[in-house]
Amino acid sequence: MDDNIEQEIKKMIVERLFLKITPEEMENDKGLIDVYGIDSFSIMEIVVGLEELYGITFKPGEFKLSYFKTVGSIAEFVRSKKK
């Protein structure tokens, strides 16, 4: 599996949300809401970051909270949009 996307996503999340951890400290399978305290406003910031970073867009009805449970789930979604 290509971990580059996961690393880019971690870096973007830490920078955009001003988290007090490094991207290296984030784990791909840990819950963003439960472990890192991400809330709905933060998720919207992540969406904007993904759109800017990867040039992807979220179509109506495509946005699901399950895509934002972990860094790994975000990476899976990004990969599916890039195909």
Mean pLDDT throughout 55-63?
85
pLDDT at 43 over 90: yes
> Is the model's pLDDT at 52 over the cut of 60?
yes
Say what the pLDDT of residue 31 is. Answer: 96
pTM of the model: 0.90
Asked whether the predicted pLDDT for residue 45 surpasses 90, the reply is yes
- Helix, strand, coil distribution of the chain in percent, nearest 5: 60, 0, 40
Q: What is the pLDDT of residue 78?
A: 94
Per-residue pLDDT at 8: 98
Which CATH code of 3.30.2010.10, 3.40.50.300, 3.20.20.150, 1.10.1200.10 fits the domain covering 4-82?
1.10.1200.10
Structural domain boundaries in the chain? 4-82
Give residue for tokens 């993904």: 50
Nearest to 45 by CA among 81, 15, 16: 16
